[in-house]
Amino acid sequence: MKKTYYLLTMAFSMQIFTQNLFAQKDSSGVYITADDFKNRKLSYAINYKTEKHKINTYVLFKGNTIRVKHQGITYDLKKSETYGYRDTKGREYRFIGEAEYTILNPGEQLLLYVYQHPAHSGKEADKYAPAYYFTTDAAGMPQALTKENLKAAFPEYHKFHDALDENFKNNKELYVYDRFHKMYKLSWLLKNNIN
């Protein structure tokens, strides 16, 4: 009896987990907190294949505001009180102050971010090249993506330190995507060198 109850409970839990996983796949919405991001819980969420809404992160004269139009109602949220959002193309973003960082690999242990200054002219865009950052958890403050910062963030993982030195000649190589493993090379190295 106990074994049957246990198996039914496990099956029900897996069904809920699977439904949440698939329900989020085509979703767009706002992450209010870092915990919401970790748990993949979107507020003002829609299935962007069947529904429409609008998330505007550049509200004129309100640079500290994100405006969400959801089910015909407009909501203004402070960026400083909102973790981030997922757009209708599946891309995810995080707010740090009033700046918007693209999260390159949501759901992984080591989160990678890119920040591109919203420059308007071609000459200014060259001045503001993309900057890459990382955090070891969703709530952490992004640090510059350098080998030294990574080693400091994982001081006890000497195999990882050695793998960094063996695989990356300079810091610009740290955000290379590994098409074979379908993840960033840095994430793959961390995953396989943390013992």
Tens of pLDDT, residue by residue over 49-77, are 777 777 877 665 567 888 888 888 888 89
Residue 54, CA distances (Å) to 16, 21, 79, 87, 153 in order: 28, 23, 16, 9, 37
**Residue 135 placed within a domain:** yes
Please tell me whether residues 44 and 129 are part of one structural domain: no
159, part of any domain: yes
Do 174 and 108 lie in a common domain?
A: yes
Which domain range does residue 121 map to?
Answer: 104-195
This prediction has a pTM of 0.79
Kindly list the strands in the beta sheet with 65-70, ordered across the sheet, starting from the edge strand earlier in the chain: 54-56, 65-70, 73-78
* Predicted local confidence at residue 6, as pLDDT: 37
Calculate ∠ Cα 161-163-165, nearest 5°.
75
Residue 113 and residue 82 share a domain: no
| 188 and 144 both lie in a single domain | yes
In a domain, 9, yes or no: no
Q: How far apart are CA 82 and CA 42, in angstroms?
A: 11
CA dist., res. 185 & res. 195, Å (int)? 18
Q: How many domains does the chain have?
A: 2
Are 48 and 125 within one domain?
no
pLDDT band at 12 (very low <50, low <70, confident <90, very high): very low
**Quick one: 195 and 115 in the same domain?**
yes
Number of residues that make up the chain: 195
